[in-house]
Structure 1
Amino acid sequence: MGMKIRRYLVAGFMGISFSVMAQQNRIDMMLWDKNVGADQAKAIVEKADFNRDPAITVYKAAKPNGKAIIMCPGGGYGWEATGHEGHDIAHWLNNQGVTYVVLKYRLPQGNHEIPLSDAEQAIRLVREHAEEWGVDPSKVGIMGASAGGHLASTVATHYTSAATRPDFQILFYPVITMDPSYTHAGSRTNLLGENPSADLQNRFSNELQVTPDTPKAFLILSSDDDIVPVANSINYYTSLVSNKVPVAMHIYPNGGHGYGYSEWFTYKDQWKSELEKWLREEI
């Protein structure tokens, strides 16, 4: 058998092995259950308009290091990019020992309470199953891209209890503000409706909601992002620094918006290396 053929066969077997391992370590779980849980959870479920079934997909690390990351895919609060901003990242993070969770949250359709309630429930579930999944309850982070970054930063600044406070936040080219002068218009409309009040707009402009208790942060963006203005990340970074919240921000010269884990992004190896180092040294 030729060397090239043997390499292809080995690569194929490895691919099958990784796929089988991923399936063995994968858990799909509904986010809400009307028959169990806290009264508050029941109330949210009863009044919600379920246009989809919110759920989490858990990818357990073979050798867990205790850290867990819950990912909120982007999509302008109108859809969810669950591939390159979701499931595609699982294998890489599992290799770092991280238990990785993809959140399928309900789309708000103008009801701003819905995504936040789903994200907080995801954090509760990870902590409730911490021992089973090899997770340290004090090392549960939230991650998001674009509008999912807004959701992640909303959890980080609006969490309602110690049980739903993330221990860290990771944001890819996030929407942060609802200020119409530099927000992402589609995300704003889908989350808050056509004509939100000034109070509601300010409440979900997360650069205005940072406190010294906001969890530490890691931000990634590109200078040429023409979808979500870079001021979203920069103003959030400035607010975190002003409140003495530890934060790292990496700005790449090009790449635009929406690359996630895509191979075409020139600086993919760089952000992976920086995030891996940050998770190792800061969390």
Structure 2
Amino acid sequence: MKKILFLPLLFITMMLSAQDSVELPLWPDGAPNTNGLTGEQEELEGGRVANVACPTLTVYRPAKPNGMAVIMCPGGGYALLAMGHEGHDMAAWFTTQGITYAVLKYRMPNGHNEVPLSDAEQAIRLMRKYAKEWNVNPRRIGIMGASAGGHLAASLATLCGSDATRPDFQILFYPVISMQKGVTHGGSRKNLIGETPSAELEQKYSLERQVSSRTPQAFLMLSADDTTVPPVNSINYFLALRGQNVPATLHVYPTGGHGWGFRDSFTYKRQWTGELEKWLREGLSFPEQ
């Protein structure tokens, strides 16, 4: 009987902890660039959105913040955003651990490859701007992403223009990493850099080639049977990180395919949540403040 009563109470506690949220416009005075999209945002099935013209950052604040923050970039092939299971649905899980959690609704490239990364950089600027107000340590802010959102997160981790926009760690769900044909996800490649990109552009966004000793520590997870984004994306990125002596951990689950996010239907949800929770608690190292 006690166990039956405990589970609903735990669920209610998790939901309440994620209700303290605020949505901020990413560029209140106008973005420095454009993707050419105008009009109303499109609301699609399954919590997905498209035609994002006004990017935002939704921040969920925990009742007892531990100083850490995570910014999530949902996936969607650089064409749309899976804002539910790869975004807002994870809020309670993070905030119950004391982690400030934010979901980035970023703009699609639509022929302008620099636009998503500029939104990710602005998101981390905002998080650091309000760090004191939100009880966040500005040196403990991580970027997270799934699928194409994982590519955006890894882009910020490897291509960030300055220390001001460099994340302190990265968490990647079954990420697109490379733009090389035969390795990449075709839709993400086409939407980000076009049908016939220059060799320089392809090289720039093949992130396994952009890793340096300054790239932040990483946690990667994927399924071995992912036929949408080949596992070699994560494997090569992991090897590149280790080659630069960047702390990294890689979890490959036997089955599950692609796009599971926070869905209960993923067989190994208990495993990945447990392993990520432990990594966030014990596996990260930060420089002395």
The two structures have a TM-score, normalised by structure 1, of: 0.90
Choose which of 30, 33, 36 in structure 2 pairs with 1:49: 36
Matched ranges for 1:118-133 at <5 A: 118-133=119-134
Task: Report the equivalent of 1:102.
Answer: 103
Matched pairs, number: 269
- Relative to total residues, which structure has the larger helix share, 1 or 2? 1
Matched ranges for 1:14-33 at <5 A: 19-23=15-19, 25-33=20-28
* Residue 15 to residue 76, structure 1, CA distance change in 2 (3 Å): same
Q: Distance in 1 between matches of 2:24 and 2:55?
A: 9
CA offset at residue 20 of structure 1? 5.0
8 Å contact 2:17–2:92 — kept in the other structure? no
8 Å contact 1:237–1:249 — kept in the other structure? yes
8 Å contact 2:217–2:248 — kept in the other structure? yes
Q: Distance in 1 between matches of 2:102 and 2:178?
A: 25
Matched ranges for 1:161-240 at <5 A: 161-240=162-241
Q: Write the letter of the residue equivalent to 2:198.
A: S
Q: Write the letter of the residue equivalent to 1:173.
A: Y
Q: Distance in 2 between matches of 1:118 and 1:57?
A: 13
Task: Report the equivalent of 2:262.
Answer: 261
Same amino acid, percent of matched pairs: 56
Q: Distance in 2 between matches of 1:7 and 1:211?
A: 50
Q: What is the RMSD computed on CA atoms of the aligned residues?
A: 1.9
8 Å contact 1:177–1:207 — kept in the other structure? yes
* Residue 265 to residue 16, structure 1, CA distance change in 2 (3 Å): closer
* Residue 15 to residue 217, structure 1, CA distance change in 2 (3 Å): closer
* Residue 14 to residue 157, structure 1, CA distance change in 2 (3 Å): closer
Unaligned runs of 5+ in 1: 36-41
User: Secondary structure of the residue that 1:138 maps to in structure 2?
Assistant: coil
8 Å contact 2:35–2:112 — kept in the other structure? no
The yes-or-no answer on 1:61 pairing with 2:57 is no
- The structure with the larger Rg is 1
Q: Distance in 2 between matches of 1:278 and 1:134?
A: 21
CA offset at residue 282 of structure 1? 2.7
Unaligned runs of 5+ in 2: 39-52, 285-289
* Residue 195 to residue 266, structure 1, CA distance change in 2 (3 Å): same
Matched ranges for 1:65-144 at <5 A: 65-144=66-145
Q: Distance in 2 between matches of 1:18 and 1:169?
A: 24
8 Å contact 1:146–1:172 — kept in the other structure? yes
Q: Distance in 2 between matches of 1:17 and 1:224?
A: 35
Q: Distance in 2 between matches of 1:112 and 1:212?
A: 25
8 Å contact 1:110–1:189 — kept in the other structure? no
Q: Distance in 2 between matches of 1:145 and 1:244?
A: 24
CA offset at residue 255 of structure 1? 0.5
Task: Report the equivalent of 2:29.
Answer: 34
Q: Distance in 2 between matches of 1:69 and 1:50?
A: 28
Q: Distance in 2 between matches of 1:14 and 1:255?
A: 27
CA offset at residue 130 of structure 1? 0.3
Q: Distance in 1 between matches of 2:253 and 2:80?
A: 26
8 Å contact 1:109–1:193 — kept in the other structure? no
CA offset at residue 49 of structure 1? 2.9
Q: Distance in 1 between matches of 2:17 and 2:242?
A: 41
Q: Write the letter of the residue equivalent to 1:156.
A: A
* Residue 197 to residue 134, structure 1, CA distance change in 2 (3 Å): same
After superposition, the C-alpha distances for 1:61-119 in whole angstroms (9 at most, x for unaligned) are 11001000000000000010010100000001101110000000001112110000000
After superposition, the C-alpha distances for 1:184-235 in whole angstroms (9 at most, x for unaligned) are 0000001011111111001100000000000000000110000000010000
Q: Write the letter of the residue equivalent to 1:33.
A: P
